[in-house]
């Protein structure tokens, strides 16, 4: 993205409230393991509803790895994984020694295709992971049915899905664990950070324990300073108090962030509806609430090969954009060298990677920008 951009793809919404909250932490004695993280966990759980138990972590990737680490998967196990996702979803499996087995997505939504999942179940399969792509809830009824039939774990990557629900239940609460990201351009931010969520208090409790080295007690419960024991293998994936203080302020604005994102999405898709040769990814399932991360346009027919020109036009007009995601994960060098790649594999995911443009709908933008983006897009496409 260029610096003369008038409409950035994403911009963190940081107010005086956030600045003051972070400074308050710095003025006190507790920088980690403290009340801000505990309060953020409580408040995020209340926001999600449905009995969500939350554990602050250092990133979404950390949450995903913690989930599989906790579930005890490893060498010889297979986990079915979307081809169309951030590489973190697959890396979290690789790190345990297990094998991600990729499944293609639905061409309309970009979400993992349950029929493709079902076809990949083998005697080695131990779990399914999925991403609620662009925040659109996956077909969890179908996924949980497959998981139940074969006794598989389910880990939901909710990095782009804060505020998205299906049948009134927040995503992340259908499977064994849900993993959220607070990276700067996502729905809300803590700079870097994430949340591990489970509907099971036992899973969340054990994950919280393993997130902090497997130490058997927190600072406040140590009778003798410096004395503790470790009863399980663990990691250090903690979030700091500074980040949690920031996150609590952002969460307080989440309803507004979600509302603005939905309005922007609606205005932009209406503005684009008259443009020929394109299609907007979606819609979400019936009975789903979609807190959209961005609006992804598929270039179709002769336009499919012209993305470079569309990008050039958007850059020249100062409209920020991105691509989600730049490759199907199995086409990325690490994965293609390890597992092999041929053109024609995962055609739906490849089409999204190669012929889509993600446009911004973030709360830093409003009607004026949405109309400008739609007009600019229409003009660029018409002149090609």
Ligand X SMILES: *Cc1c(COP(=O)(O)O)cnc(C)c1O
Bridge-based pairing state of the strands 169-170 and 194-198: unpaired
Output the smallest distance, CB 61 to ligand X, in A.
4
Nearer to ligand X, 185 or 304 (CB): 185
Question: Do the Cβ atoms of 48 and 198 come closer than 8 Å?
Answer: no
Output the smallest distance, CB 139 to ligand X, in A.
17
Question: Do the Cβ atoms of 179 and 129 come closer than 8 Å?
Answer: no
Q: Alpha helix locations (H) across the chain? A: 16-27, 35-48, 60-71, 87-94, 114-120, 140-150, 201-211, 241-252, 254-272, 307-316, 333-339, 347-355, 367-383
DSSP string, 93-122: HHTTT-EEEEE-B-TTT-SB-HHHHHHH--
Q: Which residue has the tokens 């961005």?
A: 294
Handedness of CA 91, 93, 96, 97 (dihedral sign): negative
Nearer to ligand X, 106 or 377 (CB): 106
- What's the CA gap between 195 and 185, in Å, rounded? 16
Q: Would you give the distance in Å from CA 255 to the centre of its chain?
A: 18
Output the smallest distance, CB 184 to ligand X, in A.
9
Nearer to ligand X, 165 or 372 (CB): 165
Output the smallest distance, CB 10 to ligand X, in A.
11
Output the smallest distance, CB 63 to ligand X, in A.
8
Nearer to ligand X, 25 or 239 (CB): 239
User: Would you tell me which residues interact with ligand X (CB under 6 A)?
Assistant: 59-61, 85-86, 88-89, 131, 157, 159-160, 181, 183, 194
94: Cβ contacts below 8 Å, ≥ 6 apart: 100
Nearer to ligand X, 321 or 377 (CB): 321
Output the smallest distance, CB 302 to ligand X, in A.
30
Nearer to ligand X, 304 or 332 (CB): 332
Output the smallest distance, CB 92 to ligand X, in A.
9
Nearer to ligand X, 238 or 372 (CB): 238
Question: Do the Cβ atoms of 271 and 349 come closer than 8 Å?
Answer: no
């Amino acid at each position: 993205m260029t610096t003369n951009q008038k409409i950035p793809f994403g911009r963190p919404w940081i107010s005086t409230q956030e600045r003051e909250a972070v400074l308050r932490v710095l003025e006190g004695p507790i920088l980690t393991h403290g009340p801000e993280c505990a309060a953020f966990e409580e408040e995020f759980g209340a926001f999600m509803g449905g009995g969500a138990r939350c554990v602050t972590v250092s990133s979404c990737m950390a949450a995903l790895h913690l989930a599989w680490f906790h579930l005890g998967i490893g060498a010889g196990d297979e986990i079915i994984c979307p081809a169309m996702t951030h590489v973190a979803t697959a890396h979290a499996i690789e790190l345990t020694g297990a094998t991600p087995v990729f499944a293609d997505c639905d061409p309309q939504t970009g979400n993992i295709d349950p029929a493709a999942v079902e076809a990949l179940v083998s005697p080695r399969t131990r779990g399914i992971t999925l991403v609620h792509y662009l925040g659109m809830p996956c077909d969890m009824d179908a996924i949980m049915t497959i998981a139940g039939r074969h006794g598989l774990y389910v880990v939901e990557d909710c990095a782009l899905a804060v505020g998205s629900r299906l049948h009134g239940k927040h995503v992340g609460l259908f499977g064994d664990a849900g993993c959220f990201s607070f990276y700067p351009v996502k729905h809300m931010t803590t700079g870097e950070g994430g949340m591990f969520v489970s509907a099971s208090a036992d899973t969340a409790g054990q994950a919280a324990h393993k997130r902090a080295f497997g130490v058997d007690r927190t600072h406040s419960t140590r009778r003798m300073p410096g004395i503790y024991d470790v009863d399980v293998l663990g990691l250090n994936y903690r979030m700091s108090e500074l980040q949690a203080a920031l996150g609590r302020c952002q969460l307080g604005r989440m309803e507004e962030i979600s509302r603005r994102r939905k309005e922007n999405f609606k205005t932009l898709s209406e503005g684009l509806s008259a443009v020929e040769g394109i299609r907007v990814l979606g819609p979400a399932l019936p009975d789903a609430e979609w807190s959209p991360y961005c609006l992804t346009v598929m270039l179709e027919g002769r336009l499919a090969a012209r993305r470079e020109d569309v990008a050039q036009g958007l850059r020249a007009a100062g409209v920020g954009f991105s691509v989600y995601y730049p490759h199907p994960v199995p086409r990325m060098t690490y994965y293609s060298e390890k597992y092999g790649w041929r053109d024609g594999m995962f055609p739906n995911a490849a089409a999204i990677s190669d012929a889509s443009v993600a446009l911004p709908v973030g709360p830093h933008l409003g009607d004026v920008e949405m109309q400008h983006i739609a007009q600019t897009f229409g003009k660029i496409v018409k002149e090609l």
